[in-house]
């Protein structure tokens, strides 16, 4: 159990931009980051999400081409039950700003987990990752969406399976199910332009929005803050005028320097007593008493 939550947990990461979460809470689900607010993902819709349950291929043109190279209808991302040579991925069925359904797409590459990849966009949702991974945490580089191949969660939503050192994020009403590598907010250690922040059930690296807001400055998204900071609800940051403001992570076993970073705050344990995961007992945030 956490003592408080980030103002904006990564409920739905859309091309590296993180949608706002809910107000502070004292407990979090054990199955994944929960999608609790308007994150732009739209309604789940019908089977393949395109509004026409009869066409099956999710492109909305009414055809039923079942060629081996064509994407097929809705699928189960945990079971990865697509035909050979395809994989089950999240996509935007209506061209919106977030993923809202699943479909099978051809496996077009062989890049493995941790390797760089190029993403085809929310609607097409193809990439050059292998069958076991999806191109995630993307950034626009010279007109291409470049990210990192990230493993799918396997097993079941209530008992997800991920490689050691990572955990399953389940978001977008269950549409996005990926194994994200765990990180430590006091050590950071993420790739350039990424920051280690709380994701609802674990600490994960997320790509920054480019705002790089400093200590006590306003934020709306968890990735609006500079490295080493997290976006928390305005109620715990003195003088905060926005929906949220950036708070420094701090070490509760070291001398408290929060007053210098954000006047009126102190280093407060991130987790409730005896509830911190092993290795995270020293994690705190600079928040008001």
Q: Check pLDDT > 50 for residue 108.
A: yes
Predicted TM-score (pTM) of this structure: 0.63
The neighbouring-strand residues paired with 176 are: 171
pLDDT tier at 59 (50, 70, 90 boundaries)? very low
pLDDT 10s digits, 124-143: 999 999 999 999 988 888 99
User: What average pLDDT does this structure show over 12-25?
Assistant: 30
Q: Give the whole-angstrom CA distance, residue 264 versus residue 237.
A: 8
84-88 contact pairs (CB < 8 A, 24+): 87/131, 87/132, 87/134, 87/152, 88/152
pLDDT tier at 95 (50, 70, 90 boundaries)? confident
Q: Which of 10-14, 106-110, 133-137, 238-242 has the lowest mean pLDDT?
A: 10-14
User: What average pLDDT does this structure show over 185-194?
Assistant: 85
The neighbouring-strand residues paired with 288 are: 265
Question: Between β-strands 203-207 and 218-219, what pairing exists: parallel, antiparallel or unpaired?
Answer: unpaired
- The reported pLDDT for the residue numbered 73 is 60
Query: Do 185 and 198 meet the contact criterion of CB atoms below 8 Å apart?
Result: yes
Query: Do 108 and 52 meet the contact criterion of CB atoms below 8 Å apart?
Result: no
User: What average pLDDT does this structure show over 250-258?
Assistant: 96
What value does the mean pLDDT of the chain take? 78
Query: Do 62 and 53 meet the contact criterion of CB atoms below 8 Å apart?
Result: no
Q: Check pLDDT > 90 for residue 65.
A: no
- The reported pLDDT for the residue numbered 273 is 83
Q: Give the whole-angstrom CA distance, residue 47 versus residue 59.
A: 12
Radius of gyration, alpha carbons of the chain: 20
* CA distances (Å), origin 100, targets 80, 186, 192, 195: 17, 34, 29, 26
User: What average pLDDT does this structure show over 230-247?
Assistant: 94
User: What average pLDDT does this structure show over 8-15?
Assistant: 31
Question: Between β-strands 159-161 and 86-91, what pairing exists: parallel, antiparallel or unpaired?
Answer: unpaired
- Region label for 56, one of left (φ > 0), alpha (ψ between -120 and 50) or beta (otherwise): left
Q: Give the whole-angstrom CA distance, residue 205 versus residue 229.
A: 12
* Residue 180: closest CA among 189, 170, 193: 170
* CA distances (Å), origin 49, targets 63, 91, 109: 15, 9, 26
Supply φ then ψ for residue 7, to 5 degrees: -60, -35
């Amino acid at each position: 159990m956490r003592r408080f939550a980030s103002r904006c947990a990564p409920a739905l990461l859309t091309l590296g931009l993180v949608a706002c979460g809910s107000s502070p809470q004292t407990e979090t689900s054990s199955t994944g980051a929960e999608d609790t607010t308007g994150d732009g993902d739209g309604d789940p819709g019908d089977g393949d999400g395109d509004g026409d349950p009869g066409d099956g291929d999710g492109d909305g043109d009414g055809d039923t081409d079942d060629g081996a190279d064509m994407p097929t209808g809705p699928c189960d991302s945990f079971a990865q039950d697509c035909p050979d040579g395809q994989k089950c991925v999240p996509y935007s069925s209506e061209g919106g700003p977030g993923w809202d359904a699943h479909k099978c797409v051809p496996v077009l590459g062989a890049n493995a987990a941790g390797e760089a990849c190029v993403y085809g966009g929310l609607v097409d949702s193809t990439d050059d990752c292998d069958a076991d991974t999806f191109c995630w945490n993307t950034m626009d580089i010279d007109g291409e969406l470049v990210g990192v191949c990230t493993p799918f969660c396997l097993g079941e939503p209530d008992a997800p399976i991920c490689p050691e050192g990572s955990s399953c994020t389940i978001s977008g009403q269950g549409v996005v199910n990926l194994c994200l590598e765990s990180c430590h907010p006091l050590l950071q250690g993420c790739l350039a332009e990424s920051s280690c922040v709380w994701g609802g059930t674990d600490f994960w690296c997320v790509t920054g929005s480019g705002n790089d807001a400093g200590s006590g400055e306003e934020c709306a998204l968890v990735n609006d803050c500079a490295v080493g900071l997290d976006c928390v609800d305005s109620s715990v940051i003195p003088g905060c005028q926005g929906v949220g403001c950036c708070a420094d992570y701090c070490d509760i076993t070291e001398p408290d320097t929060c007053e210098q970073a954000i006047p009126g705050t102190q280093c407060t344990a991130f987790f409730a007593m005896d509830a911190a995961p092993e290795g995270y007992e020293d994690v705190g945030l600079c928040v008001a008493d």
